[in-house]
Amino acid sequence: MSEELAPQLSRKLKEWLLELASKLNWRIDKVLDSYRLAQRSEIIDVRDDGKSISGVRLRVPSETRNDVNYYVSVGPYGAKCTCESSVIRGEVCKHIVAGLIMWNMLSVIKYGKWLDLNELEWLRQPKDNE
């Protein structure tokens, strides 16, 4: 990567993560927790049609329980996670956000395309979330 490209990529990633925090009505530190989870996750499947990536499936480790993993699928029409927050309360959890982050980074690396968060209708959250 060229020296002038790295700061541009870093700046764009910061902007994208801030936009994601705003869209979810989350504090940025909670989004950064998801970023760290994404780094520790294992990719199970990537939906790639040769022009764009339309979703991913991941195994995401629990932050609090050893030897517990959650399974996440994210795509344009929705997201699912096997954690209690997602299954019982129907919330967008940190694991789903980790999946979004991974999906975005794979799309940027392979196709140079950033996910447009405004296109993800299911991402809209009520404003009373933390």
What is the pLDDT at residue 45? 97
Exposure string of 94-127, with b = 16+ CB inside 10 Å and e = fewer, is bbbbbbbbbbbbbbbeeeeeebebeebeebeeee
Lowest mean pLDDT among 15-19, 27-31, 32-36, 88-92: 88-92
pLDDT of residue 129: 45
Single out the residue of 52, 35, 50 nearest to residue 102, CA to CA. Answer: 35
Which is higher by pLDDT, 130 or 52?
A: 52
